[in-house]
Amino acid sequence: MWSELILVSLIGGLICLDRTAAFQLMISRPLVTGPLIGLFLGQPVIGLVVGLLLELIWIGRPPLGGYIPPNECLAAVLITAGAILSGRIIGHDSRSLIVLAFLLALPLARLATFLEGGLRRANVMLARRAELAVSAGRYRQIPGLNMAGLGFAFLHGTVFLLLSLPVVVVVLSRLYPVLTPPLLRACELMFLFLPLIGIASALSNVNVKRSEKIFGLVFLLALALLSR
pLDDT digit string, tens, across residues 57-88: 777 666 666 667 778 889 999 999 999 999 88
Query: What is each CA distance from 59 to 27, 151, 208, in whole angstroms?
Result: 14, 27, 16
Residue 212 has pLDDT above 60, yes or no: no
Condensed to tens digits (0 to 9), the pLDDT of residues 122-159 reads 777 877 877 777 777 777 777 777 777 778 888 888 99
Query: Which whole number is the average pLDDT over 184-189?
Result: 83
Residue with the bigger pLDDT between 152 and 198: it is 152
For the whole model, what pTM was predicted?
Answer: 0.79
Q: Could you tell me the residue ranges of all domains in the chain?
A: 2-116+155-226
Q: Does 182 score more than 80 pLDDT? A: yes
Supply the pLDDT for residue 147. Answer: 79
pLDDT at 35: 92
Answer for the pair 115, 156: CB distance below 8 angstroms, yes or no: yes
Region class of 67: left (phi > 0), else alpha (psi between -120 and 50), else beta: beta
